[in-house]
């Protein structure tokens, strides 16, 4: 059992050469306190996304190791792929999960950023919650122009690196390092026949439409399954719980005579995101907060799954469950 859990999801600009991919991923293997959860490569994108979690200190070492390896074996002057990129290691988000705060993750991102410049020689932009100015919060704005445009872009005072010279590394480019909150991909499927009505619901419940603060949403046509979907990114479940979106979607769908059939969680979800939902519904059923704390992880997950009607859900999608399993493997 790890005392603290920081997640990291670094993206590398190599998705074709298996030997190179394994050489990078090896940095996250056989390292006390670091657990490799997943990695997946896309040859069209020519990109590999690694999902890893662990305690702060060994995780920092693993990330610096992987950045060093990426610089050695990836040359952006010849790399081509469908995914936009500006660096051999393109982006390194640190995500606080358990017994670490966002402030801790910001601090870690700055330490790692500094080391990537000083020890690896790749200039670093701090992004998202670690950004040093508002226009650097958005990764897309930093990456605009990509590797090929970066030398010119970095001459401008607005785009000097946070760590490093004001020019990209000749073959490895630059990298964005920062803290972001865990993102939960949460979809709610409706027995609706109207994409227009579903999109109207999505627009009302999302932040820019006047809805929930940490919720992005759009309508998706699943008419081949006889359904419509409100597809969401919950960008901070610690503040906007999943059940707020779920209940608002149910409520707003009522005006169109539509109902929630099921929901989906894509990829991993932190345990606390499910706990908040289970706690809510159990309290509504009369249980006290203290009684709920006594329940097993298994019971909490099952309660959240039943309440939110999460379809095709495996306990292994719960970050902490997967971590425990990998840790004991």
Site string (261-290) toward its own copies, x via CB under 8 A = -------------------x--xx-x----
Closest separation between CB of residue 268 and its own copies, Å? 21
Dump the DSSP string for 79-137: ---SS--SBSEEEEEEEEEES--HHHHHHHHHHHHHHIIIII---EEEEETT-SSGGGS
| Structure-token pair, residue 149 | 């445009």
Could you tell me which residues come within 8 angstroms of residue 208 by beta carbon, excluding any fewer than 6 positions away? none
Is position 236 an interface residue for its own copies (rule: CB under 8 A)?
Answer: yes
Which part of the chain contacts its own copies (CB under 8 A), choosing from 34-42, 150-158, 223-231, 254-262?
A: 254-262
Is position 311 an interface residue for its own copies (rule: CB under 8 A)?
Answer: no
83, 169, 207, 259: the active-site residue: 83
Total residues contacting its own copies (rule CB under 8 A)? 26
| Structure-token pair, residue 298 | 């298994």
Left, alpha or beta for 18 (phi > 0: left; psi -120 to 50: alpha)? Answer: alpha
**Nearest-angstrom CA–CA distance, 231 and 219:** 6
Closest separation between CB of residue 280 and its own copies, Å? 6
**Nearest-angstrom CA–CA distance, 241 and 254:** 21
Closest separation between CB of residue 317 and its own copies, Å? 23
| Cβ atoms 34, 58 nearer than 8 A | yes
Left, alpha or beta for 68 (phi > 0: left; psi -120 to 50: alpha)? Answer: alpha
| Cβ atoms 82, 46 nearer than 8 A | yes
Is position 248 an interface residue for its own copies (rule: CB under 8 A)?
Answer: yes
Which part of the chain contacts its own copies (CB under 8 A), choosing from 58-66, 144-152, 168-176, 241-249?
A: 241-249
Residue with tokens 């006290």: 288
Which part of the chain contacts its own copies (CB under 8 A), choosing from 12-20, 33-41, 116-124, 253-261?
A: 253-261
Q: Which of 54, 123, 168, 241 touches its own copies (CB under 8 A)?
A: 241
Site string (189-228) toward its own copies, x via CB under 8 A = ---------------x--xxxxxxxx--------------
**Nearest-angstrom CA–CA distance, 195 and 191:** 11
Q: Which of 18, 29, 193, 254 touches its own copies (CB under 8 A)?
A: 254
Which part of the chain contacts its own copies (CB under 8 A), choosing from 48-56, 239-247, 264-272, 308-316?
A: 239-247
Residue 150 C-alpha from the chain's centroid: 25
Active site residue 213: no
Tell me whether residue 76 or residue 212 sits nearer to its own copies (CB atom): 212
Tell me which residues touch its own copies (CB under 8 A). 204, 207-214, 236, 238-241, 244, 247-248, 251, 254-257, 280, 283-284, 286
What are the residue numbers of the active site? 83
């Amino acid at each position: 059992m790890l005392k603290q859990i920081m997640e990291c999801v670094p993206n590398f600009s190599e998705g074709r050469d298996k030997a190179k991919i394994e050489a990078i991923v090896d940095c996250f293997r056989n390292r006390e306190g670091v657990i490799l959860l997943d990695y997946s490569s896309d040859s069209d994108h020519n990109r590999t996304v690694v999902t890893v979690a662990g305690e702060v200190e060994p995780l920092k070492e693993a990330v610096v190791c992987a950045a060093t390896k990426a610089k050695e074996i990836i040359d952006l002057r010849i790399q081509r792929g469908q995914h936009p990129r500006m660096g051999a290691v393109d982006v390194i988000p640190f995500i606080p999960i358990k017994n670490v705060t966002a402030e801790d993750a910001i601090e870690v991102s700055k330490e790692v950023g500094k080391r990537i410049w000083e020890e690896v020689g790749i200039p670093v932009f701090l992004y998202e919650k670690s950004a040093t100015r508002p226009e650097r919060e958005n990764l897309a704005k930093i990456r605009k122009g990509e590797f090929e445009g970066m030398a010119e872009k970095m001459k401008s005072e607005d785009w000097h690196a946070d760590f490093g010279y004001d020019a990209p590394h000749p073959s490895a480019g630059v990298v964005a390092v920062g803290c972001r909150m865990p993102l939960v991909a949460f979809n709610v499927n409706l027995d609706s026949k109207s994409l227009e009505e579903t999109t109207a619901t999505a627009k009302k419940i999302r932040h820019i439409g006047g809805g929930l603060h940490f919720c992005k949403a759009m309508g998706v046509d699943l008419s081949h399954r006889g359904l419509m979907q409100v597809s969401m990114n919950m960008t901070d479940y610690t503040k906007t719980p999943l059940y707020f979106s779920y209940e608002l979607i149910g409520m707003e769908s009522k005006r169109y005579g539509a109902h929630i059939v099921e929901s989906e969680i894509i990829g991993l979800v932190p345990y606390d995101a499910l706990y908040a939902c289970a706690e809510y519904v159990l309290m509504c059923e009369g249980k006290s907060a203290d009684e709920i704390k006594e329940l097993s992880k298994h019971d909490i997950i099952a309660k959240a799954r039943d309440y939110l009607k999460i379809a095709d859900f495996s306990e292994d999608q719960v970050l902490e469950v997967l971590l425990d399993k990998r840790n004991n493997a």
